[in-house]
Amino acid sequence: MTEYSRMAKGKLTSTGAAQVVNLPFQPDFVRFVNYTVANSAATSQNVAAAEWNAQMGQGFAVQQGYNATPTLIYDTVTSAGISTFSAGQLLQFGAAKQVVASTKGTTTSFQVTAHGYAEGDVVLFEGLFQSSTTGMPQMNGIPFTVATVSNADNFIVNWNSNNASYTNLAASPASAKVKKILYPYLYFPGASVISAITTGSTTTIDTASAHNFVVGQEVAFRIPSQWGTVELNSLPNTLTPGAPVYGYVVAVTDYNTFVVNINSSAYTAFTTAVAVASVPGLSFPQVVAVGDVNTGGNLITSSSALYPPPHYTPIGTTNIPTINGPAIRGAFVNNTAQGFVIGAGAGTVLTTSKLCGAASDVIYWEAFLHDMSIP
C-alpha cells in the first residue's frame, strides 16, 4: 500500500557525533550506507551500513561492519542506535550536568566531565555562582552555541568574561549546571542575545547562538542600559519621535556575526561587565527580526527542488532544511522538528565503532513511513 506512505532520502557528512535528520514525518524504517567506509579498504571495525525498524525499539539497529580481520559481519546496536524524535512547541532539554570549573577570557571555557557536546550544540547554563556575590551568573539563561570542543571534558562559548565582574568557577559549585537544548530552532529568526558589538560607520553584531539572519533583513535592538550601546534601541528615535529605529543586515559573516547599516561611531561602547549584584531581574541585550525580509521562503529556480523549504544556518553548515513546505518570502518560520537520529552507539561485537561513523564520513540514507505495520 502507498496511499499514506512517506519516503525520503538524502546525504550527510558525519561529524563523528549523533546525526539529526529533520523530516516532515517520523519514519518507521531507516537504512543507510556509509559510502566512505564502503569505498575504502577496511582496517578495523568500521560500520558500512545499518537499518532500523520501529518494531525493534528506539535506539536499536542492525549493522554491517568490518571486524579486525577485516571481515564484513552483521552486528546489533542496542542503545544510541537509530531513533525518531518529535519536538513540541516548547523547548526540550537534555540532562543537567555539573559544571566543574570555568576559565575567563575573551571567550569562556567550561569544564564539564564527559559533557558529550559537539560544536554547534546549543546549551543553557544555570546557577553559575561561586558564592552569593561571585561567579558567572550573568551568563545564566542565555542560549549559547558550543563554539569549540576542546576535549571530552571542556568546551568554549562565545562570551567575553575577561573583566572584574566575572570570577572563575572552581570545585564544582553545587548550583552550577548546564543542559543541552535539544531542538533550539523551533522558531526563527526569533530573538538572539547579543554577545558583542563593534561600532563604526557600520555596526557589527555578535550573538551567543546562531542568529539565522540573511542579507537584506530588517532588525531592531533591545539593549538595557547595563550593557551599553542603548542608542541602537528601536525607540525612542531622537530625529523622529515615536518612529522606530531599524537597521538592515548588509553582510552575514558567519552563524553568529552579521553587519547592519547603522553608523554607530558616536555610540556608547557595548560591555559584558555587568556586576553580579545586578543579576536579579537582569534583562539580556537582544536583536530581533522585524519587517518583511527574513529567512522565510527560498526562491524557486530551474535548479531548485520543486518545493524548497525554508532553512536555518547553525555553526559549521550553510543550509539545514526545515520540515516546512514552501513559505511566502518574508514569513517567519515555525520549525517544529521531527525526523530521526543516527546515534553514536556501538555494536555488541563491533564495540570500537560508532554507528554514526567518523568525522567526514559521507552517509547516504533512506527513511520510510509505511501505511500499516503488522506485528
Residue 104 burial (CB count, 10 A): 19
Does domain 97-181 fall under CATH 2.40.30.20? My reply is yes
| Model pLDDT, residue 294 | 66
Look at residues 180, 268, 183, 162 and name the one whose alpha carbon lies nearest to residue 225.
268
Of how many residues is the chain composed?
Answer: 375
Residue position matching grid coordinates 553559575? 128
Q: Which pLDDT band, with edges at 50, 70 and 90, does 237 fall under?
A: low
Bridge partner list, 30: 52, 367
Is 42 a residue whose pLDDT tops 70?
no
Residue 245 to residues 44, 271, 291, 344: CA-CA distances in angstroms? 60, 21, 12, 47
Q: Are 303 and 161 in contact (CB under 8 A)?
A: no
**Residue 139 burial (CB < 10 Å; 0-12/13-18/19+)?**
buried
For 178-221, write each residue's pLDDT tens digit.
Answer: 999 988 988 888 789 999 999 999 999 999 999 999 888 889 99
Mean pLDDT, range 49-70, rounded to an integer: 92
- Model pTM? 0.83
Rounded CA gap, 148 and 82, in Å? 26
For 251-276, write each residue's pLDDT tens digit.
Answer: 999 999 999 999 999 999 999 999 99
Please indicate whether residue 79 or residue 298 has the higher confidence score (pLDDT): 79
Is 45 a residue whose pLDDT tops 70?
no
- Identical fold for domains 97-181 and 185-335, yes or no, is yes
Mean pLDDT, range 241-246, rounded to an integer: 78
Fold of 185-335: Elongation Factor Tu (Ef-tu); domain 3 (2.40.30)
Residues 6 or more apart from 274 whose CB is under 8 A from it?
A: 138, 165, 226, 227, 282
Give residue limits of the domains in the chain: 6-87+338-369, 97-181, 185-335
Rounded CA gap, 205 and 362, in Å? 34
Is 9 a residue whose pLDDT tops 90?
yes
Is 91 a residue whose pLDDT tops 90?
no
Rounded CA gap, 314 and 79, in Å? 27
Q: Chain-wide mean pLDDT for the chain?
A: 90
| Model pLDDT, residue 356 | 94
Buried b (16+ CB within 10 A) or exposed e, 343-370: bbbbbeebeebbbbbeeebbbebebbbb
Q: Are 19 and 354 in contact (CB under 8 A)?
A: no
Give phi and psi for 137, each to the nearest 5. -70, -10
CA 186 to chain centroid:
11
3-class DSSP state of 329 = coil
Label each residue of 132-194 as H, E or C.
CCCECHHHCCCEEEEEEEEECCEEEECCCCCCCCCCCCCCCCCCCEEEEECCCCCEECCEEEE
Residue 125 to residues 96, 110, 177, 308: CA-CA distances in angstroms? 9, 10, 6, 35
Residue 259 to residues 146, 150, 209, 217, 295: CA-CA distances in angstroms? 22, 29, 16, 11, 16
Quote the Cα angle for 136-142-148, to 5°. Answer: 80
For 323-338, write each residue's pLDDT tens digit.
Answer: 777 777 777 788 878 8
